[in-house]
A and B are shown apart, each in its own frame.
Chain A
Amino acid sequence: MTKTRTVLAAISVSLLASTSAFAGDVRIMWYSDGVEGDVIQDLLNRFMKDNPDIHVTLDNVAYKVIQEQLPIQLEAGQGPDIARVTNIKELAQHWLDLRPLVTDPKYWDDNFGDTLDWMRPDGSKAIPGFMTQLTLTGGFANKTLFEQAGVALPGDKASWDDWINAAAEVAKSQQLPAAFAIDRSGHRISGANISYGANYIGPDSTPAKVDDGTKAFVGKLVDWTAKGLMLKDTWVSAAGSTYRAAADDFVNAQIPFYYSGSWQVANLSTKIGDSFDWVATGSPCGTAGCSGVKGGAALVAIKYTKNPKDVAKVMEYLAREDVVKEFSERTLFLPAHKGVIEKGGLKWVSTDKNVGPALDKFVKAAGETLPAADALPPWKWANAYYAALVTRVSQVMAGELTLDDAWGKVDQDIADKVAEAK
């Protein structure tokens, strides 16, 4: 009888253990745009060697999983211990405050203070994590195609019209399917909208109605799509706010100009290799400026973790200056660590001659963003605005709505989202 009880107890314990985290287990949900999955794994292997009592598991998932499944897991009080996310502000209530857990909170405030508001509820002093990279939206041009077409690359202060006209000339000369593409994302077009004077944020930080700035650029975008200058596939061939990148079309030299962001540098370098020369162009200008939108991915601790102390140890290691520097150099990401930025001297790990100038261009363009763009990353309703824009603008491009109808729908969608969140 005693034997039977012992066996049953052992089975119960092992069943319970299989469904709960062991002390020392830390799970990270991670997505990759380029090589950062390999780099972070390498860094974590070193951490585990020095800290044998902590086992870190890196779950590499698709970006879609981070966008669609993680929020639901979090709402259910579940999820990984740490996650790399871009929907940073809207999910802020799920992040763990590391302030009481880290050995030197001042280090975090000093080095990541500028971006901590992006990831914590308004008015909070929490330390939820840190930005693994700073990003800036911006363009890329296929230099080889421009040269083959005998078209000069538009200069630093060239407008959106200048760029599209030049790219159209290249596309015509080289018999390409389109002149340019922008990723199917509200975030991507927001820099351009703001360059034409848009402001999404109304009084009391509530969403403003669609203004003339947004109408001006989106009107152009719809017109360019109708004329076949913008690659139709990216925006039209999906419904709702589904994200679609056009990077593969640029990599395959189907478009001479591509508007995306700094996080594509490593991806383009890896995939293009020496097939053709490419350059980062910064953001084309509108009537109000030449702005991109800053953003990035953050590594945040999740408050539902069973092992907060171990999570804090992992986060402290990954936020260390030397680790951030190495991570940035190997992934070709712009760092968010103040110490790393101020000391400079980053040695980008790449033999690709296009990479260094491209990253330098993005660093320079980061100083040209407009205040209305800088206000977006820590703004709670930015994602709702982006989603409504994508959903409705792509309907206009598909011929289902007129622009005038679309503006009303965008305002209504955002108002519904705000009402729903109350």
Chain B
Amino acid sequence: MTAAATLKTWTGAALAAPVVWLASIVNVPLKSWQRATGTGGMAAFFLAPNMAIFGIFVLVPLVINFFYSATSGTAYFLQDRTYVGLEQYQRLLDCGSYLDTATCREDLFWKAVHNTGLFVVVQVAMMTIVSIATALILNREIVGRSFWRAVFFFPVLLSPVVTGLIWRWILQRQGLLNLIVHDMGGEPYNWLTDRFWAFTAAVSVSVWAHMGFYTLILLAGLQAIPRDLYEAAEMDGTKPARVFWRITLPLLMPNLLVVIVLALIRAVQIFDEVYVLTGGGPGTSTLYLTQYIYEIGFASLLRNPGLASAASILMGLVLVVLTLLQLQVGRRGERKGARE
């Protein structure tokens, strides 16, 4: 054995020693645990640390939040707050007509609900269409394909605040877009104080920021479609549009459903980039649910933690429904995969 090989062996042994020592200590109680509980018990044992973290950082705050929603007052300590039962929920849900926010006791909450609903519908539709189109292009044999994939994924890596600021600098009155418009002889426009354009900007920026992630999921789905199907279609002289509708889209459906559900959940939670971009304005036309909760809970001088907690519980219920939908979609995909 050479000196180098000897050194390698000794180093390996030295590094492994503490692990072996630790394993020998853990081994005894683990064996007893396995004997007593079987394989199910072992699974629980290994899941326990993760569940503990989940419990401390998700479940416990959720329960505390629920208690907050049953109290009123400006104090932040639960013991200093007054128990009011479901009063905060009643206040949020007190509406003459849910379609007319002006008739609601908490009109800003319902404004945020309406805005979020519209945002979710438009943004998810746009996100899905743009992601499919991008994935289809990036799946082709184009020059610099890896480069383009990186380009489209790059915004996903940016912090939402950075994304919001970049686009704010582009779209504000004295921003880059107006500079270009002016240089081309046009009249600069105040994009972010116009309700339509502010909404369009909010949707477009969030699509730009997240489409890379969904494109990646769809790209994986496209690459899993057998090539011979396309070759057969080509031999039959099938038109490209028919190939897309009859082969690509049906076979991409499991991935597409995942994309839609994930995009739905994310759209309901929209906050940071839009908050930086429009501040919820003009007026309240891009005020979304999470911003409402943040404002009423922490930022506004009219803050009301109980009301914010109740609003977040209601929003949580919507997210639970969407998550169940996602699970359902996932299971259906698995069953279909197993059948095939």
Contacts and interface: CB of A to CB of B under 8 A. Distances in A.
Contact of A241 (B74, B190, B195, B301): B301
Contacts of B301: 67, 87, 241, 383-384, 386-387
B76 interface: yes
A291 interface: no
Contacts of A400: 111, 283-285
A331 interface: no
B172 A233 contact: yes
Given A233-B190, A239-B291, A421-B73, A398 B281 contact: yes
Interface string B172-207: 111000000000000000101101001000000000
B74 A420 contact: yes
A121 to B, nearest CB: 15
A173 interface: no
Interface-centre pick from B284, B286, B298 (highest chain A CB count, 10 A): B284
Contacts of B283: 236, 239, 394-395, 397-400
A409 B284 CA distance: 14
A117 to B, nearest CB: 20
Interface string A390-409: 01001101111100010001
Contacts of A409: 107
Contacts of B192: 233, 237
A388 B302 contact: yes
A242 B299 CA distance: 8
B193 A236 contact: yes
A248 to B, nearest CB: 9
B20 interface: no
20 contacts: A75-B75, A76-B77, A236-B282, A237-B193, A237-B278, A239-B284, A239-B286, A240-B108, A241-B299, A242-B279, A244-B279, A384-B301, A384-B302, A387-B302, A391-B300, A391-B302, A395-B284, A398-B285, A400-B285, A420-B74
Contacts of A236: 193, 281-283
Interface-centre pick from A76, A237, A394 (highest chain B CB count, 10 A): A237
Contact of A239 (B193, B195, B295, B302): B295
A177 B287 CA distance: 26
Contacts of A244: 279
| Chain B contact residues: helix, strand, loop or mixed | loop
B309 interface: no
A330 interface: no
Interface residues of A, number: 41
A238 B281 contact: yes
Contacts of B107: 409
A342 interface: no
Interface of B: 72-77, 102, 107-108, 111, 172-174, 190, 192-193, 195, 198, 278-287, 291, 295, 298-304, 306
A413 interface: yes
A416 interface: yes
A237 B75 contact: no
B304 A252 contact: no
A240 B280 contact: yes
Given A240-B280, A241-B301, A252 B174 contact: yes
Given A177-B173, A239-B284, A388-B302, A72 B291 contact: no
Nearest to B277: A237
Contact of A232 (B190, B299, B300, B303): B190
Contacts of B281: 236-239, 394, 398
A41 B190 CA distance: 40
A282 to B, nearest CB: 27
Contacts of B279: 237-239, 242, 244
| Chain A contact residues: helix, strand, loop or mixed | helix
A417 interface: yes
B113 to A, nearest CB: 14
A104 interface: no
Given A400-B284, A405-B102, A421-B74, A241 B193 contact: no
A69 B173 CA distance: 30
A398 B74 contact: no
A50 interface: no
Contacts of B76: 72, 75-76
A391 B302 CA distance: 10
A386 B300 CA distance: 11
A41 to B, nearest CB: 27
A129 to B, nearest CB: 21
B123 to A, nearest CB: 18
Contacts of B284: 239-240, 395, 398, 400
A279 to B, nearest CB: 24
Contacts of B102: 401, 405
Given A76-B77, A237-B282, A400-B111, 18 more contacts: A233-B193, A237-B193, A238-B280, A238-B281, A239-B286, A239-B291, A239-B295, A241-B300, A241-B301, A241-B302, A244-B279, A386-B301, A394-B281, A398-B283, A398-B284, A400-B283, A400-B285, A420-B306
A237 B299 CA distance: 17
Contacts of B302: 241, 384, 387-388, 391, 413, 416-417
A187 to B, nearest CB: 10
A103 to B, nearest CB: 35
Contacts of A233: 172-173, 190, 192-193
A68 interface: yes
A85 to B, nearest CB: 13
A412 to B, nearest CB: 8
A240 B290 CA distance: 13
Contact of A398 (B173, B190, B282, B300): B282
Contacts of B299: 67-68, 240-242
Contacts of A242: 279-280, 299
B192 to A, nearest CB: 5
Given A236-B282, A398-B281, A72 B300 contact: no
Contact of B287 (A239, A397, A416): A239
Contacts of A397: 283
A49 to B, nearest CB: 39
Interface in A39-80: 67-69, 71-72, 75-76
A394 B192 CA distance: 14
A186 B91 CA distance: 26
B286 to A, nearest CB: 8
A394 B280 CA distance: 12
A194 to B, nearest CB: 19
